[in-house]
Amino acid sequence: MIRKTESPDEARSCFSLWSGFSIWKGLLVFTILGLASQSLVGSEDRLKRKFVAKIQSIAENADAVVGVAIKDLKSGDEYLINADEILPQASSIKIHILTELYREAEQGRYRLTDILQLPESVRVGGSGILSELGPKSVSLSLHDYAVLMIVLSDNTATNLLIDLVGMQNVNKSLQAMGASKTKLQRVMMDVKAAKAGRENIGTPREAMMVLEKLHQGEIVSKKASEEIVSILRKPKEGPIRRGVPESVPVANKEGEVEGMRCDVAIVELPESPYIICVMTKLLLKPEDGPRVIEELSRASFQYFDRKANSNEFGRRIPR
Report, as an integer, the average pLDDT of 204-229: 97
Query: How far apart are the C-alpha atoms of 293 and 285, rounded to whole Å?
Result: 14
CATH H superfamily, domain 62-308: DD-peptidase/beta-lactamase superfamily (3.40.710.10)
Lowest mean pLDDT, pick from 19-28, 79-88, 262-271: 19-28
Report, as an integer, the average pLDDT of 24-48: 54
Pick from 42, 40, 68: nearest CA to 56: 68
Report, as an integer, the average pLDDT of 4-10: 51
> What's the confidence (pLDDT) of residue 4?
46
Average pLDDT, the chain: 89
Report the predicted TM-score, pTM, of the whole model to 2 decimal places. 0.85
- The bridge status of strand 87-88 relative to strand 201-202 is antiparallel
Query: How far apart are the C-alpha atoms of 282 and 76, rounded to whole Å?
Result: 31
The residue count for the chain: 319
Please answer whether residues 298 and 104 qualify as being in contact, where contact means their C-beta atoms are separated by less than 8 angstroms: no
Please answer whether residues 149 and 130 qualify as being in contact, where contact means their C-beta atoms are separated by less than 8 angstroms: no
